[in-house]
Amino acid sequence: MEENVLFDARNAPIELHAKPQAVLRIGKGCIIEGGSSLEAVDSIVLGEACHLGPFVKLMDNHQHQTAGNRLERPPSSPIVLGNNVTLGAHAILLPGAQLGDGVRLEAHTVVSRKIPAGTHLQGNPPRVVKKAPKETP
């Protein structure tokens, strides 16, 4: 955890779970609001100045198989947030979510894939509210 990280648990506890070999890195200047839960079996990395709203959930593993041996843990897939990412209340990031710099998720948005920098999403499945600006050469 880097400097100036704020855990605002005035309204609800914040849960941070990391297996012994896992990486749970929280960048400089991040804000994590009450009720949020970060569960790292492999890796969850938050860039600088990220804001996780109340009751946000990040989990890099589904914790059990959906078919076959349900007691066996499936492979994990890292979650990575770029800098200045904002997650609205009750947003959920599933294994493999990778959010580029400046991504914004509205409340209750669920993401499990790579999202380009500057994109604004809402809903489940997520719909683009504002596309990332095109890069110029």
In a domain, 136, yes or no: no
- The total of structural domains in the chain comes to 1
pLDDT band at 1 (very low <50, low <70, confident <90, very high): confident
pTM over 0.75: yes
In a domain, 22, yes or no: yes
In a domain, 106, yes or no: yes
What number of residues does the chain have? 137
pLDDT band at 134 (very low <50, low <70, confident <90, very high): low
Helices and strands, counts by H and E, the chain: 0, 17
Domain of residue 71: give its range: 6-121
Q: What is the CATH number of the domain that holds 32?
A: 2.160.10.10
In a domain, 116, yes or no: yes
CA 56 to chain CA centroid, Å, is 8
Quick: pLDDT tens for 97-112. Answer: 999 999 999 999 999 9
In a domain, 114, yes or no: yes
In a domain, 131, yes or no: no
In a domain, 130, yes or no: no
Report d(CA 90, CA 55) in Å as an integer. Answer: 5
Q: Which amino acid, one-letter code, is at 12?
A: A
In a domain, 126, yes or no: no
- DSSP labels, 31-44: EEETT-EEEESSEE
Q: For residue 128, what is the DSSP state?
A: E
